[in-house]
Structure 1
Amino acid sequence: MEDISQYDDDLWDDFEDDWFAPPQITYQEAVERLKSLAGKRTDVVVEWDGKQKWDGRRWRDDARVVFADADGLRMRLRSAAQLEHVERIVSSGVPLPERHAIWYPQNGVITARLVGDFDQFHNALVRSLLPRQKRAVDLEGPLGADLAGMLASTGAFHVGEEADGSGRSLRLVSVPPELSLLYNTRHGGGLSPSLELSGVSASDAAEAQKVLVAYGTSYLFGLAKAQAASLRLWDTGYRLGSRRGPSYSTKLRFPQRQYDAEPAELYGAGNAAGRHPVERWLKFYQVLEFYMPKAVDWEVARQGVAKQEQAQSPYARPQKTGSLGSEQNQLDAVINLAVTQADVAGLLRDRELFTTLSDPTIIQHVETLEDDGSGAPLPGSDYRNAISSRVYGIRNRIVHMKEGGGPKGTPLLGLHSQEARDLAADLRLVRYLAEKAMEYWATALP
């Protein structure tokens, strides 16, 4: 499974060294050819002065191709051997960076990066060619080579729109070098697929992207139904992840505590980088949901009442809404038991995390954490109440996926909204709460 949480301009600096044919011209000649092509466009500039510059990690003298109309997207020419592919983009390609795609208006073709479970795609490809094949494909063996060659030359799962004469068609093909060069994506082997949409007629890049999303999404849904191949178009929301990375230990010890299997599976699914941030958030929330009955039983016993509806949230809630018959208050009970005030204080020492959770403009219509006026946490404050309210508020905005919004018209937190792209801090928070809950209810191994 490809890790899509990372996206860095220099991440794959060396992946294409043995991918291209040896250069037939000098690097300077290649740059001059690109400058000549770029001069015919108003949205492309080739930057190069032939001098080495320190980029913070190494000395570089690469030329850069800058696409002004694609939010300043930059592509490095690392070798003259790449010229053929870079020339194709500069001469006729229009980047669609929000979808990691390239549109070729003259040819009416869009190629777009896909993400998802490539193992399922491999299996679907085998089933389509060899229906009786039951074993997994050895990608290094003859069958794997045959599949890779077929995907590269003819594509797979081809469908055409012949009835209306539009000439539109869709198929899966191997990732073309142009996509990998433009977006610095891992090549991933011959069986990493991309989507090719042909017969596209659009007035500009925005319209071309809408066509790609409309037809590509529907095609991939049909592919999932027919072949159980879980593939999706790339979306900028998939870039989410803590920029600094969570400060979790990488040391593993032989297990001493037994964790419940169901939440452990949910936690693992939440950690899947290939999932959309909204999906990941929900998986971590489901871990907390799993422990609600145990937390409620503990509160009922502690408060000495007969029914959960008679017990109250451990946090200050209005009397009419404080009953543990409410899921929000059951979440209070889980957090109150599994997480201490000191735990939360330690987590919120991360200034970047706290700044995001206390900013009402990032994730709107949910609880924000109060600061001391300087952007720091209030000394001695117990934020567990506010955190519980925030988590439950996000849950409602995601789960109540009804036309018109959630309770009292609260707007939805849609998959491709800006807020979905800004979920990194809340993902870290709900993951932390899920971990604490699993640890609290873990039992000793014999």
Structure 2
Amino acid sequence: MNADLPERIVRFPEIKVESEVSVLFRFAGSATGNPPLAFLSYYQVLENFFPVAGRRSALRKIELELTDPRFDRRSDKCLMRLLDVGENAAAASEASHLKILLEEFVRKDVLESFFSENPWGKHFTKQGPIKGITENINPENKQTPLAHQVAERVYRIRNRIVHAKDDPKYQNTPALLPQSDEAEALWPDIDLVRLLACEVILSAQVRS
């Protein structure tokens, strides 16, 4: 009956994920009884991609310098600009690495949709249930890119889970502990960092 129709072959996308990343991602999804641990595991997925994001950002800046018609390889000033790119990349803080990663690997429209298409209420604001948040997440903010706003929030929460007792910057903010009301309120942020992890894994496949 359908002899004249061409055979349709369904192809599923192939994604190769490093074993460490795969283990962390699966573990995060199974840590339903410990929200801070789930958040931290997804964050560790992001950490695995800091080096490649930093390299790509640095290479793009170097390429811009080299293709600039004003670049003169005999000029110490021009050569120092190239050196500065490499040195800045090597000296970047973890917070800077996270911002670079989200800029390089997370699609802007996907990030905007996360906030616009879900009823988060005041969760991602200073009035939300997570302490130590100093700025609202505002996709309409023209001064600070959304990726930077998200990176700042994610990094603050990460430090409350990991370094709250050790880093003087967070000494006035209590640790975010398991089995607390605040920990149970963390799930929207876990959804956010899971989305970031998915985006980074996907983008790494496309660009590799």
TM-score normalised by the chain length of structure 1: 0.36
Distance in 1 (alpha carbons) for counterparts of 2:163 and 2:34: 17
Question: Shift of the alpha carbon at 1:308?
Answer: 4.7
Moved more, 435-444 or 277-286: 435-444
Q: How does 1:357-436 map to 2 (within 5 A)?
A: 357-371=124-138, 377-378=139-140, 382-402=145-165, 407-409=169-171, 410-436=173-199
Q: Which residue of 2 aligns with 1:349?
A: 116
Q: Which residue of 1 aligns with 2:97?
A: 330
**Which SS does the other structure have where 2:101 is aligned?**
helix
**Which SS does the other structure have where 1:396 is aligned?**
helix
**Which SS does the other structure have where 2:25 is aligned?**
helix
- Aligned to 1:260, which of 18, 27, 45? 18
Question: Shift of the alpha carbon at 1:270?
Answer: 0.6
Q: How does 1:97-136 map to 2 (within 5 A)?
A: none
Pair 1:310 & 2:68 matched: no
Question: Shift of the alpha carbon at 1:360?
Answer: 3.0
Distance in 1 (alpha carbons) for counterparts of 2:152 and 2:137: 13
* Paired residues of 2:42 and 2:194 also in contact (CA < 8 A): yes
- Aligned to 1:301, which of 51, 59, 67? 59
Question: Shift of the alpha carbon at 1:388?
Answer: 0.4
* Paired residues of 2:57 and 2:104 also in contact (CA < 8 A): no
The percent identity for this pair of structures is 27
Distance in 2 (alpha carbons) for counterparts of 1:354 and 1:438: 28
Bigger radius of gyration among the two:
1
Question: Shift of the alpha carbon at 1:406?
Answer: 5.1
Question: Shift of the alpha carbon at 1:285?
Answer: 0.1
Q: How does 1:132-171 map to 2 (within 5 A)?
A: none
* Paired residues of 2:29 and 2:38 also in contact (CA < 8 A): yes
Give the AA of the match of 1:442. Q
* Paired residues of 1:259 and 1:441 also in contact (CA < 8 A): no
Are residues 423 and 274 of structure 1, via their aligned partners in 2, closer, same or farther at CA, if it must alter by over 3 Å? closer
Question: Shift of the alpha carbon at 1:442?
Answer: 1.7
Q: Which residue of 1 aligns with 2:47?
A: 289
TM-score normalised by the chain length of structure 2: 0.73
Distance in 2 (alpha carbons) for counterparts of 1:344 and 1:411: 29
Give the AA of the match of 1:432. L
Q: How many residue pairs end up in the alignment?
A: 175
The gaps in structure 1 that reach 5 residues or longer are 1-252, 312-322, 372-376
Q: How does 1:27-38 map to 2 (within 5 A)?
A: none
Residue deviations 1:183-235, cap 9 Å, x none? xxxxxxxxxxxxxxxxxxxxxxxxxxxxxxxxxxxxxxxxxxxxxxxxxxxxx
Give the AA of the match of 1:395. R
Q: Which residue of 2 aligns with 1:279?
A: 37
Select the structure that is richer in helix: 2
Are residues 401 and 364 of structure 1, via their aligned partners in 2, closer, same or farther at CA, if it must alter by over 3 Å? closer
Distance in 1 (alpha carbons) for counterparts of 2:102 and 2:20: 19
**Which structure would you say has the larger RCO, counting Cα contacts within 8 Å and 6 or more residues apart?**
2
Residue deviations 1:74-132, cap 9 Å, x none? xxxxxxxxxxxxxxxxxxxxxxxxxxxxxxxxxxxxxxxxxxxxxxxxxxxxxxxxxxx
The gaps in structure 2 that reach 5 residues or longer are 1-10, 63-81
Q: Which residue of 1 aligns with 2:5?
A: none
* Paired residues of 2:107 and 2:199 also in contact (CA < 8 A): no
Question: Shift of the alpha carbon at 1:390?
Answer: 0.2
Q: How does 1:42-191 map to 2 (within 5 A)?
A: none
Select the structure that is richer in strand: 1
